[in-house]
């Protein structure tokens, strides 16, 4: 185990005991209503795939369902999902954190369309936002660790996890890969709470600005422009960015810092990336996007750039080199999004099994009916197929390189639709109860839909994958 990872796991253990003592109502100033309803008990470690942690139902050849607390995923699959002991420990600790801290607050913050800033700060205290960065900036963990964290958080709150992804992957990992030492020292050392005091810049919330009102999948068709300033000391940025996760935290102002893509030349590929921070003249919140179908605990906004002066030192990478920065970060973003889908699907299967063992119709438990068996069994098989695909890709992904787009597109394409379909089956299995918020699966269905759009639409994955497949003579194992 490398020293960064060892220190990270020690930090997780140290903070775990202190977090367990905190009440959910102390997460942030926005949580002013105590929910007196005790959450419905759910098997939070049901299909987890961690040795000695995750149990699965055992049907055998009898009509009786027996609790099989020792049943786990087959060892070969367990090694796929947790290839090292440190991965296993991270999953165990994040799962416990999610059950204790994320699960109790999920419905409230999603209902009120708020990001739980207090919980977000706890994520930062744990060092999860700098998970992929090498020393001295972070834990130095790999793509598999990214998948684990996003799967576990999304089991309870995909909306919160999406806000975490925008900060940790789209801002921090992106700058870690593409920024220079001065930029990383300024923004990323401060993002790691182990290096600074409680009130330091580590509590920033960041994001990335790429999509525009008229440029989504056709990202190279963006119209936001950066032109050299007259004094040669920087750039003047003009344009709008749309659908920006973490675009605002309070509905009135922007969050703290963003990586912004803008055109810097006449050619289609002439795109550069800049650091733009809150308070720069001309940089403002256009509007918060409210009343979204799902991912409501993740704030989304339009951001406006009106003659914003950006100093030369805020250029990330080379002039007109922004497309390369973009490509370097897209692969791990899609691993994270696919892992979120796995977390959603796992929770839905758990909820279906749990409900079908309690609910009775026509004098017997509904899991004994063929229609219910079909829905749950197929959902489980689809979930396992997606999980195996995601972790096989994550285990082989080098965060410092690119060129894995066929399968990073593939895992998101498959897993996003799979999660939505499994959530849909969960609603159907649970009937009217599945249609209401208390039973969680309707929220997960709404959240899953975003994964077919954000971070690359299904149609863009089709295009990208066909392009890569057309270059191949055959598929070789």
What positions carry a catalytic annotation? 333
Instruction: Report the alpha-carbon angle 106-108-418, nearest 5.
Output: 40
- Closest residue by Cα to residue 303 from 278, 324, 326: 278
Please give the Cα distance from 222 to 215 (Å, whole number).
Answer: 5
Residue 430 DSSP SS3: helix
Q: How far is CA 142 from CA 224, 332, 366, in A?
A: 33, 10, 42
What tokens appear for 81 in the block?
């999902």
- Residue 349: what are its φ and ψ, rounded to 5°? -65, -45
- Closest residue by Cα to residue 177 from 322, 321, 328: 328
**Maximum distance among all alpha carbons in the chain?**
82
Find the Cα–Cα–Cα–Cα dihedral 100, 101, 105, 106, rounded to 10°: -90
What tokens appear for 337 in the block?
């999004």
- 341 in Cβ contact with 386 (< 8 Å): yes
- Alpha carbon 352 to its chain centroid, in Å, reads 24
Please give the Cα distance from 78 to 95 (Å, whole number).
Answer: 16
Count of positions (residues) in the chain: 477
β-partners of residue 288 are 301
Q: CB under 8 Å to 74, separation ≥6 — which residues?
A: none
Residue 113, Ramachandran bin (φ over 0: left; ψ between -120 and 50: alpha; else beta): left
Please give the Cα distance from 226 to 210 (Å, whole number).
Answer: 14
β-partners of residue 304 are 240, 284
Residue 308 DSSP SS3: strand
Q: What is the bridge-based pairing of β-strands 206-209 and 257-263? A: parallel
Please give the Cα distance from 160 to 117 (Å, whole number).
Answer: 10
- 262 in Cβ contact with 317 (< 8 Å): no
- Residue 5: what are its φ and ψ, rounded to 5°? -65, -40
Please give the Cα distance from 126 to 191 (Å, whole number).
Answer: 11
The string of DSSP codes covering 54-71 is ----B-TTSS--B--TT-
Peptide bond just before 56 cis, omega within 30 deg? no
Query: Position of tokens 């999304």?
Result: 154
């Amino acid at each position: 185990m490398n020293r960064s990872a060892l220190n990270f796991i020690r930090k997780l253990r140290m903070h775990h005991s202190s977090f367990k003592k905190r009440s959910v109502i102390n997460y942030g100033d926005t949580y002013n209503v105590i929910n007196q309803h005790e959450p419905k008990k759910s098997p939070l470690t049901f299909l987890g795939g961690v040795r000695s942690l995750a149990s699965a139902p055992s049907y055998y050849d009898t009509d009786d369902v027996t609790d099989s607390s020792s049943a786990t995923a087959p060892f070969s699959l367990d090694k796929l999902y947790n290839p090292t002991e440190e991965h296993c420990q991270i999953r165990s600790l994040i799962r416990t954190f999610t059950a204790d801290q994320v699960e109790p607050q999920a419905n409230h913050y999603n209902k009120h369309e708020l990001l739980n800033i207090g919980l977000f700060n706890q994520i930062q205290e744990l060092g999860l936002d700098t998970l992929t960065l090498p020393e001295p900036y972070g834990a130095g963990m790999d793509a598999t660790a990214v998948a684990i964290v996003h799967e576990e958080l999304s089991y309870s709150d995909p909306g919160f996890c999406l806000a975490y992804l925008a900060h940790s992957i789209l801002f921090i990992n992106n700058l870690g890969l593409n920024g220079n030492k001065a930029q990383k020292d300024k923004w990323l050392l401060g993002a790691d709470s182990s290096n600074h005091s409680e009130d330091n810049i580590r509590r920033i919330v960041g994001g990335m600005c790429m999509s525009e009102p008229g440029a989504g999948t056709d990202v190279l068709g963006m119209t936001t422009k950066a032109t050299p300033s007259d004094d040669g000391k920087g750039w003047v940025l003009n344009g709008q960015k749309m659908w920006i996760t973490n675009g605002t935290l309070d509905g009135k102002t922007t969050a703290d810092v963003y990586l912004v893509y803008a055109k810097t030349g006449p050619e289609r590929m002439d795109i550069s990336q800049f650091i733009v921070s809150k308070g720069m003249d001309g940089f403002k919140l256009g509007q918060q996007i409210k009343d979204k179908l799902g991912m409501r605990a993740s704030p989304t906004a339009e951001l406006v750039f009106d003659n914003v002066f950006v100093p030369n030192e805020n250029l990330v990478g080379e002039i007109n080199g922004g497309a390369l920065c973009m490509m370097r970060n897209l692969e791990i973003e899609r691993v994270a999004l696919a892992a979120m889908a796995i977390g959603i699907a796992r929770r839905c299967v758990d909820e279906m099994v749990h409900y079908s063992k309690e609910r009775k119709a026509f004098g017997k438990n509904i899991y004994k009916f063929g229609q219910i068996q079909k829905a749950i069994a197929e959902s489980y098989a689809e979930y396992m197929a997606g999980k195996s695909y995601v972790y096989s890709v994550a285990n082989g992904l080098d965060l410092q390189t690119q060129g894995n787009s066929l399968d990073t597109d593939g895992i998101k394409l498959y897993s996003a639709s799979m999660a939505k379909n499994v959530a849909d089956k969960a609603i159907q299995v649970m009937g009217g109860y599945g249609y209401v918020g208390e039973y969680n699966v309707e929220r997960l269905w709404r959240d899953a839909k975003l994964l077919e759009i954000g971070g690359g639409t299904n149609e863009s994955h089709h295009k990208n994958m066909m392009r890569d497949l057309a270059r191949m003579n055959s598929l070789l194992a």
